[in-house]
Structures are given as C-alpha cells and as structure tokens.
Structure 1
Amino acid sequence: MGLRKLTYFVGTTIDGYIAAPDGDFDFFTPHVTEDYLPFLTTEFADTLATPGRAALGVGDAPRTRFDTVLMGRGTYEPGLAVGLTSPYAHLRQIVFSRSLATSPDPAVEVTDEDPLTAVRKLKQEDGLGIWLCGGADLAGQLLPEIDELIVKQYPVVAGTGIPLFRADFAPRAFRLAESRVFDGGNVVLTYAKASD
C-alpha cells in the first residue's frame, strides 16, 4: 500500500491570507456561491465541520478523501470558544499544541509531538488521506511533508492577515495539477509536490 498523502486544503484571499489578523474567516462566506457549494458538499464533504455537514444534508456521507484532520491550536480555538469541542467528529482529529495540556473532548487528540515526526508516522498507517486544516504556523512546519496543496482562492483582497504559510524563506516547487474556475469568481487550484 502506498503512503498516505498530506493535503493542505485551505481557503485564501487573492493576496494569500487564510484569515483576518484575529483569525476570523467569515469574510469568505459571501463567496460560497450556488455553483461552488455543490463542489464542496460532494468532492470535499470530508472537510466540512460536523454542524455544517448536518445543515447541508451530508452528515451521513461516507468519507471519500480524508479520514484524519490536523490543526494547530489557533485553528481549533474558534470552535472551542463557542463550545464546539469536536469540530470534525467524522474524522480522526489531531490538534498540535504546546499550551493545551489536555483535550477538552475524548474524540480529539492533543499532542505536543513534533509535527513532522507525527505526520511521518501517520503516513505509514493504512487509511485515507490526511487533511491539514491549518493554520499558518503548522503549515510552515509541515511544508516538507505536504504532498498536495489545494487552494480555494476567493475573489477578495484582504491587505493583511494570517498568511497561507508562516515559515522561513525556503522556496519549494509544486506543479499545477488542476484548476477550476467557478461563476462567482472562486478558483480552486490543486498543486502536487514537484519531484525533487
């Protein structure tokens, strides 16, 4: 069996920000248009949060792409703040944090393990793909292990905010594998890690 892939599937602005400086990303919501929503609910239902899956009628949809989600504390925190302790209950959830000592939910694994080491172990296990949900710091640390980058680019410029990656300057090549343009101006770009 081949190695599982790590995919960074994330929404960004045209200028490469995944969230506002305070972590909010609600400004993307108006750009989830009629032609775009079915794409998310069919091809990427695995990446919808549990309440969203229920609201969109895909709560019982089988997992097709991912069975594990990785996130940093900053990505996990907004859900936690509103009482959503298990945001992706249909997936194995792993939160990387040096400050969160214990998990607030038995369905969520909290670890302070080195992310690269953890991902290399996860890739050896059988299963579907591994989804890197965010954020910028974790993505920066995991860049050497990212096999696929799927960027949902929304037609908005933020000016500043949380970048796609927060890492030292170290250019890495990816090749464009697919691009899709939606009527509302959303573009989904799928990149594969270029051969070394």
Structure 2
Amino acid sequence: MPGLVAQCAQHSSSHLVHVGECDSGEIHYSIMNSDRVTHSLMQRISRVLKKVVSDLPRFQTLESEGKKQIDSLVNLLEQRHSVQQVCLDLGTPDFADLQFKLLVKISSEVNSKAVHLKEIILPLKDHHDVLSRERIEILRLLKKHGGDIDPKAMCEGTPLVPPIEVMLLWIDQLEIQLRELYPSVE
C-alpha cells in the first residue's frame, strides 16, 4: 500500500490513533500526544481518587472517635465552669483547696482531650496536604499540556470511569472541604 496517507481511526475509547505506512512498507501505529496526556491525567486522577476511597474507612473511624472526644471535652468544660461558679462563702479553707484541685484535674483532662483531638486531626490534615499537592500537579499538567488534550476526551467517560472534568471537580471539592475542616492544625 505505497503512498498511503496517514489516517486517523476512532479508537474504542474515543482516542485518536494514527495509522500509517513507513517507507519500508511496514504499518505503524502511534498514539497521539493528546492520548498520552489524557492517559497520564486519568492515571494521576484515578490514583488520587483510589487513595481517597481506600482511606475512607479509617477517616470514618477517626471522625467517630473525634466526635466522642468532642462530646467528652464539652462535658469537661461544663464541669470546669460549674466548679468555677461555686460560691466560696462556705467559710472552710478545705473547700477552696478542693475547688482548686478539681480545677487542676479538669484542666489536665481538657488538655489531654485537646491533644488527642489533634492526633485525630493530623492524619486528615496530612491527607489534605497530599490531595492538595496532587491537585496542584494535575493543574500544572493541564496548564503545560492543555493544547495537546483532546477536549472530547476530557468530556467523555466510560461506563466504569467518569470524564476527566468530573473527576477534577471531585478532587477540587474534596480539597476545599478538607481545607475548610482542617485549616489551622499545627
């Protein structure tokens, strides 16, 4: 088939594949640059979303434990407030000493609950940091190779894989939610 002009055929996943003939008569196939970029984006996004999904059970456990710690912390703060409001006009120095000891003990418990809550939040913050870095890298790839990406491939998905733009939206929403939840953990 000498002189065969390179053709573009639709691939089953809507990616373009160049089919052509070399001077030696051999048929060759090459994936367009847009396919490599699209595939790279799909892999990166898929990896990020799989990580989120695999971490969900752990995060649900952390959330449940965090709620228990918060409830306990609220109870301790109410106790501390009640002990502070007790009238000291009873005239016994032992009561003032008892009140001080109770306040010290409650404050110690409050501090330990706060430390425990930070320990619960830190893995979530670390996850947010990873997600944020991946999001930045995906946006960098889009900026760098945006002209090479087939817009049709960005908007089309498969029965098992949603379109790239939908997955990017998911990552953006997750990153925003995590940023709102854990902005000040140090």
TM-score normalized by the length of structure 2:
0.23
Structure with the greater relative contact order (CA < 8 A, sep ≥ 6): 1 or 2? 1
TM-score normalized by the length of structure 1:
0.22
More helix by share: 2
More strand by share: 1
